[in-house]
Structure 1
Amino acid sequence: MQLNAGNTKLENKIIAEFNKWQLAVGDGKETNISPNSDSGEMLIKIPDQYIAHKYGEPIQKLFEVTYPDFLHNISSHEYLRSRAILAPTNIVVDEINTQLLVKIPGTLFTYLNQDSINDVGDDDNDFRSTFLVEYLNSINMPCIPKHELKLKGQSLDIVGLYLPRVAFSHEHTYVAISRVTRPEGLHILIDSDDCSSKNITKNIVFEEVFYNLPSVDN
């Protein structure tokens, strides 16, 4: 994602340093503070200026720094679509949505996906009985929409990064930190087992993925 230009030389210097850090994370070049880690997996230290330090409930803290003065801006489309809360798994996203929905005035609507199977052959086919509707509705995995989607009249964008567990896939960390267009827009809350926030997370980059990419100079 392209970063916005600053208004002063100092701002542009900060933006350039932020961009350099982003690319280092994406390329797997950011300093690995755990040199004995497995190939492709490393531990990196997040600069303190991007850390949202937790005091109390982590989702509430991240919400406060991401959506300040929320109720006064809830009708502003620009306010809502310009910020986001990101999380590594559907389960964590559900936890965030559940807590944030109660902050939005209005009636809660629930929308369900299609849970029937078409084109399964003749009536004697046991496909329908093999895959029960309850089973299909319980599937919760990446790249497949959930059976149940909820909203309260507002479609919230997602900003910031909540990590109650480490990233687990190639360039997960980079994809998250590259969503913002200015350094001060990044707020990362890394939750630890002792209920405190920290500034160390896993960065997974498999360099072999880049081996066959065409050069930008060609």
Structure 2
Amino acid sequence: MFAKWLLDIGEGNVGGNNDGEATIEIPEDLLIKDSSDPISDLIEFVYPSVLDNFNDLNFFHEREILAPKNNVFQEINERMFSIFPGDEREYLSSDCICPTEMVNENLDESLCSPDILNGIKASCFPNHRLVLKVGVPVMLLRNVDQKSGLCNGTRLKVVSLGNRIIQVKIISGSHIGDRHYIPIITLVPTDKKLHIKLQR
């Protein structure tokens, strides 16, 4: 029902004729009402009894929470992590200006400090700080190895956490059950709103 409703919105079949803006009524059965903590209620609705189903790959294969903005995703992610047992492992990026930008005479040197670079958040780009636990489900944000099923949107379960590499098991798509190692990867955002070319 929810997927069909989203498709109808995308196709312009909901909200009547519009010039790019429309008022859309959300169906009653899709709303979380009268809640003092809607994020916890959403997590419980999507992942009921998550700790009882922790080791069932099908449980995570059939469920996911998508968020429209990074700050909403971050809050949901932190809540989910607090539910899962085990120790957290923190990974921090090493950020710098792309070498091609260093020859730019108009480059403001104050933009090159680690604090500024680490604080940059861009769409479809990982934050400076990544926290993981063994057993948690994660989603790839980039194509890593399409032949092996490691594509943007592929869902994975964290198997082990190393210093420079993580081991994952695929839990969606045509390669379910396959295990892979994901190393450190250098990324450059394509967000046109950024005035500098960041390398993370």
Write out per-residue CA displacement over residues 12-63 of structure 1, whole angstroms, 9 at most, x where no aligned residue.
Answer: xxx7x974x444311222134xx8xx72011111222222334220111101
Which amino acid in 1 is paired with 2:8? Answer: A
Deviation at 1:117, TM superposition (A): 3.9
Question: Are 1:135 and 2:116 matched, yes or no?
Answer: yes
- More helix by proportion, 1 or 2? 1
What TM-score, normalized by structure 2, do the two folds share?
0.58
**Bigger Cα Rg:** 1
Contact kept in structure 1, 2:111 and 2:117, CA below 8 Å: no
**Partner-residue secondary structure (3-state), 2:64:** coil
Q: What's 2:82 paired with?
A: 102
**Partner-residue secondary structure (3-state), 1:150:** strand
Q: What's 1:203 paired with?
A: none
**Partner-residue secondary structure (3-state), 1:145:** coil
Q: Given the superposition, is the C-alpha separation of residues 69 and 121 from structure 1 closer, same or farther in structure 2, using an over 3 Å criterion?
A: closer
Which amino acid in 1 is paired with 2:38? Answer: P
Give the gaps of 5 or more residues in structure 1: 1-14, 159-218
C-alpha distance in 2, partners of 1:118/1:31? 45
CA RMSD of superposed structures (Å):
3.0
Q: Given the superposition, is the C-alpha separation of residues 18 and 138 from structure 1 closer, same or farther in structure 2, using an over 3 Å criterion?
A: closer
Which amino acid in 1 is paired with 2:22? Answer: M
Q: What's 2:91 paired with?
A: 111
| Count of aligned residue pairs for this structure pair | 137
Q: What's 2:52 paired with?
A: 72
Bigger relative CO (Cα 8 Å, ≥ 6 apart) = 1
Write out per-residue CA displacement over residues 70-94 of structure 1, whole angstroms, 9 at most, x where no aligned residue.
Answer: 1111111221232111211111111
Contact kept in structure 1, 2:84 and 2:136, CA below 8 Å: no
- More strand by proportion, 1 or 2? 2
The aligned runs of 1:173-188 (5 Å cut-off) are none
What TM-score, normalized by structure 1, do the two folds share?
0.53
Give the gaps of 5 or more residues in structure 2: 140-200
Q: What's 1:154 paired with?
A: 135
